[in-house]
Amino acid sequence: MARYDENSIKTLSSLEHIRLRTGMYIGRLGDGSNFDDGIYVLLKEVIDNAIDEYIMGHGKRIEVELTKNGILKVRDFGRGIPLGKLVDAVSIINTGAKYNDDVFQFSVGLNGVGTKAVNALSTRFYVASYRDGAFAEAEFARGELKKNKKGKKPSEKNGTFVEFEPDPEIFGEFDFNLEFIEQRLWNYAYLNSGLTLLFNGARFKSEGGLRDLLDAEVGDGAMYEIAHHRGDRVEFAFTHTTNYGETYFSFVNGQYTSDGGTHQSAFREGILKGVNEFYKKSYTGADVREGIAGAVAIRLKDPVFESQTKNKLGNTEIRGWIVQETKDAVEDWLHKNETEAKKLATKISQNEKLRKELNAVRKEAREAAKRISLKIPKLKDCKHHRGDGHKRAGESTIFVTEGNSATGSMVSARDVYTQAIFSLRGKPQNMFARKHSEIYRNEELYNMMMALGIEENVENLRYERIVIATDADHDGFHIRNLLLTFFLQFFEELVVSGRIYILETPLFRVRNKRETRYCYNNGERDEALEVLKGAEITRFKGLGEISPREFGQFIGEEIRLVPVNVKSIKQIQETLEFYMGKNTPERRTYIMENLI
């Protein structure tokens, strides 16, 4: 047994702590396949500093470049970091101007941490600051200063230049997804009207702000002209579509809050109050907001987020003024837009009628479910759930799988505290273009909704993540597509908020007497065969062929999850129509033309 004495107590430098406990500073690591992976957070931290300069009225252009060998470069044209403090500002924790409210009132970046984390987590980090013809520059390797100097450069405009390369020792093998970077840059453009961002030659600029964001998302799917309000501290836009549910894009000081928070709930409440005040009605929130697509952004002096990744805002003191300003602005917009007000009234009336019909169907489904069983069939639940306050509740996951054999392996291998399993019985129905009421009349889908907790309200979702786990064969892919169709058709907000994932499991096991390797594609299999001489190959035809002992690692620390993303919600119906609709000739032609 190891001794616990004075020698057991260690003090880490800030640099060592960032590299050892990376997740505390930038959230997840990842390999670049997820929008929130660490390599994008590094880029965000650098751009955030440039955005702060723009917010304070300095510099209208930010240039971003990703080189072919994975080096990122960011140049802003703000005031430039004070030359005498350049090294400290990018290398010493708790050093920065963002503690000074006279200099930065609505900072996007995290006080004193952001750029230091980028520095510590990069194989090479170079920074240069230009101020009034003079400059200072410094170069680091994994956070350690290698060289720095000062001098004169009268030809350079004021501002800061940062160049860095994420460290493979921390991030492993990774690839940048250009679409993720472009999506972040568009968000910056929408939230900072008048700012121009350039990325590898492409231009990102918005004059309409959140109105442009919603227009890009819903396009022709908007049922009426997008409502838009821009105040000193809050900006919002909204419209309705024919889609089900509610979809929101919310931001705090430029940070996308995918899990919403008090600003988003206050925005929702303000819309309801404004609508009821204008129409002199007492509509329910469900009737007013069903089918809504909204965006809200606030500027806040001291934001309190519920995690380091800043996905959810926790400030409670802001609710009152956001509700009031939203209410007043909505009421004012409706008075000024008579045609749009009539269209909104029609939509609310339709929602009211559909809700009453749906409630009757829900009641029937509930009563039928009670007659069958007191428990949800085929659910092996976990002990901790989303929102229950337990420290591990944020890890809660439900795997939606097929068949008894796959379920058996997963149940035996799972973490009973945070991992639940729901087993489907055969293939679910294709729910594309079906009525909302039909999912409640389908016993299998209703059981799944009960397992997820969303049969009454999507806000009651019991798990942080919903993971589709099907066999890697034609039937498995078909079931996966049917489930994705179900979520995209009726619970699109779960997809937009990043709740839906696909589990990747290995296709092959390659082993000899000394070593076993699990391979996720043919390339990995061939590479393993070259290294492991005389190895045998096992092709996993289904999840049930993977033993519980093996499955533990694939849903444990080594789990591979592919997030389900949508580029814009306006493309959802088009995509579903093509792949899941009745356009058989067009789909057959597409398949034939794209077979390799």
Q: Which residue do the tokens 């590898």 mark?
A: 200
**Residue 582 pLDDT greater than 80, yes or no:** no
Residues of the chain with CATH 3.40.50.670: 374-505+542-565
Residue 67 pLDDT: 95
pLDDT digits (tens, 9 = 90+) for 5-31: 545 444 456 777 788 878 777 777 888
* Spatial CA neighbour of 247 closest among 486, 63, 494, 53: 494
- For domain 210-354, give the CATH number: 3.30.230.10
At CA 451, angle to CA 449 and CA 456, rounded to 5? 45
**Residue 96 pLDDT greater than 70, yes or no:** no
Which tokens sit at 205?
Answer: 């600029």
Residue 311 pLDDT: 80
Residue 11 pLDDT: 47
Residue 17 pLDDT: 78
- DSSP 3-state assignment of 190? helix
- DSSP 3-state assignment of 78? coil
Residue 184 pLDDT: 92
Q: What mean pLDDT, rounded, does the chain reach?
A: 87
Q: Give CA–CA dist 160/50, Å, rounded.
A: 8
Residue 12 pLDDT: 52
In angstroms, the Cα distances linking 156 to 48, 147, 215, 246, 415 are 22, 21, 38, 48, 57
Starting at the earlier edge strand, list the strands of the sheet with 516-519: 516-519, 508-511, 536-539
CATH fold group of domain 374-505+542-565: Rossmann fold (3.40.50)
pLDDT band at 108 (very low <50, low <70, confident <90, very high): very low
Residue 389 pLDDT: 78
pLDDT digits (tens, 9 = 90+) for 536-568: 999 988 888 888 888 889 998 888 888 888 877
Q: Give CA–CA dist 542/529, Å, rounded.
A: 22
pLDDT digits (tens, 9 = 90+) for 428-452: 899 888 888 899 999 899 999 999 9
Q: Are 297 and 250 within 8 A, CB to CB?
A: yes
Residues of the chain with CATH 3.30.230.10: 210-354
Helix, strand and coil percent figures for the chain, each rounded to 5: 40, 20, 35
pLDDT digits (tens, 9 = 90+) for 271-309: 999 999 999 999 999 999 999 999 999 988 888 887 655
Q: Are 283 and 277 within 8 A, CB to CB?
A: no
Residue 377 pLDDT: 72
Residue 569 pLDDT: 75
Q: Give CA–CA dist 209/228, Å, rounded.
A: 9
Residue 113 pLDDT: 59
Of 94-98, 497-501, 547-551, 581-585, give the lowest mean pLDDT range.
94-98
Residue 106: phi and psi, rounded to 5, are -130, 70
**Residue 81 pLDDT greater than 80, yes or no:** yes
Residues of the chain with CATH 3.30.565.10: 15-204
Burial 162-190 (b: 16+ CB within 10 A, else e): bbbbbbeebbeebebbeebbebbbbbbbb
In angstroms, the Cα distances linking 532 to 432, 507, 518, 546 are 47, 17, 12, 21
- For domain 15-204, give the CATH number: 3.30.565.10
Provide the percentage of residues in the chain whose pLDDT is more than 90: 57
* Spatial CA neighbour of 325 closest among 256, 288, 273, 279: 273
Q: Are 130 and 153 within 8 A, CB to CB?
A: yes
